[in-house]
Amino acid sequence: MATRKRVGKEEEAANGGGDDVGAPSSAAAATKRSKDQRHTAALILARGGSKGIPLKNIKTLAGIPLIGWVLRAVVDSGLFDSTWVSTDHDDIEKVARSCGAQIHRRSAEVSKDSSSSLDTIQEFVRLNPEVDVVCHIQATSPCLHPFHLKEALEYITDQGYDSVFAVVRRHHFRWQEVKKGTDELTFPLNLDPSNRPRRQDWDGELCENGSFYFATRELIEKDGRIQGRKVAYYEMLPEYSVDIDVDIDWPVAEQRVLRYGYFGRDNPEVVKLMFCNISGCLTDGRVYMNTSGGEMLSINTRDNAGIRMLQKEGVEVLLVSSSLDPVSQALSQSVGRGLGCEVLCVGEKPLEELKALVQKKQLSWKDVAFMGNDELDVECLNMAGQSAVPSDAPVAAINGAKYICRTAGGQGAVREFAEHIRLQKRKAKSQLEQDRIDCTSW
């Protein structure tokens, strides 16, 4: 038996809306929820031996390790009794733990190239007898949102289904493949060539998009599968159906994620103030000496343009210089004058010194962006609503940042972060306008 989830307008999906087919009454649903004490576990499979893209699961996508996108949606949803990452690799384990997941260290038997997802899920179920419902979520689906998980899981918790999986609607005409060296003729699989339908006259077909597969323990253990018995599908809109296994053009995937990805409950709507380290972010950290003994710094014109872009959008940019840095204060002040920015000199505990300034400006740290490049910056990176480091920053700083630039310090990293801030501001503005439209229609 199968049912479906109807998808309404894009704005309905963005607000977690949509109509359930055959949904029980609210009273019945409440009774069902009160009785359902099953342990529901989110499980993300992240093997270290990807052949297509090495260590793909922790490769940085739009400033976040790939697996971090789905883990953020899982943790923020608040739906799961436990969240697990199944892996055989130390680096993946470190990233997963930093994102709030427990680790299932999979055995060598299910870590082979020939191992299937079902093999690993069955091992997980066997080793975790308290788990009743397994929500297998693909690490390669970075546009997953909490509302997708909530609505799909309700098929199992509220409506009594044994399994549910994600699909996307495609309008592709399919033809039979002809093997080379044969006399076979191709033929249409899903259309009549003499009466080709227009897109608007054809419902299309539902295809698995790989985002998730939810199943009960009994189905996995007794039937040896993750789809079956009373099964439902959950239809996701195409913009959320990004699968890196298919869409291996990483820059294209990044643009989709930046527009449609889930950035967390605490993602700030508007950045009003940005702190940016001069050394290691705005510059490459080196000081140049001329023949007369004078000191010089190299500033990338792209970074210069990025700062001016933020200033035009009403973001105050303050440059940060450390008293422990070899860059002289005279040079730092010269850079600030050239960019039209005030320069702040901080010591060993920059957060303590910057806190007072943020408070003085009557701002919250959610309104602040911080770009740093070293261990001293970790507290500021954690505190700021948006934070970033260049690609060549030390590991400690990278782990503390919310965005990891593709470019190195002094090579355009500041411009890249500035564009990221601007994009998030526009997303927030678009959502606010949509909310106003929705309110007027009540």
pLDDT tens profile 404-430: 898 999 999 999 999 988 887 776 655
Dist CA 410 CA 391 (whole Å): 11
Q: Which domains does the chain have, with CATH numbers?
A: 2-20+36-172+200-260 (3.90.550.10), 273-430 (3.40.50.1000)
Strand duo 205-216 + 64-65: pairing: unpaired
pLDDT at 154 exceeding the cut of 80: yes
The pair of structure tokens assigned to 102 is: 């427990």
Q: Calculate what percentage of the chain has a pLDDT beyond 70.
A: 83
Handedness of CA 252, 258, 262, 263 (dihedral sign): positive
Number of residues in the chain: 442
pLDDT class of 293 with cuts at 50, 70, 90: low
User: What is the per-residue pLDDT for 142?
Assistant: 92
Exposed, middle or buried, 380 (CB in 10 Å: 0-12/13-18/19+)?
A: buried
User: What is the per-residue pLDDT for 428?
Assistant: 61
pLDDT tens profile 155-185: 999 999 999 999 999 999 999 999 998 889 9
Sequence-ordered list of residues with C-beta below 8 angstroms from that of 387, at least 6 positions apart, any chain: 369, 370, 371, 372, 380, 381, 400, 401, 402, 403
| Residue numbers annotated as active site | 196
User: What is the per-residue pLDDT for 165?
Assistant: 98
User: What is the per-residue pLDDT for 323?
Assistant: 78
Which residues on adjacent β-strands are paired with residue 288? 296
User: What is the per-residue pLDDT for 430?
Assistant: 55
In contact, 242 and 257? CB cutoff 8 Å: yes
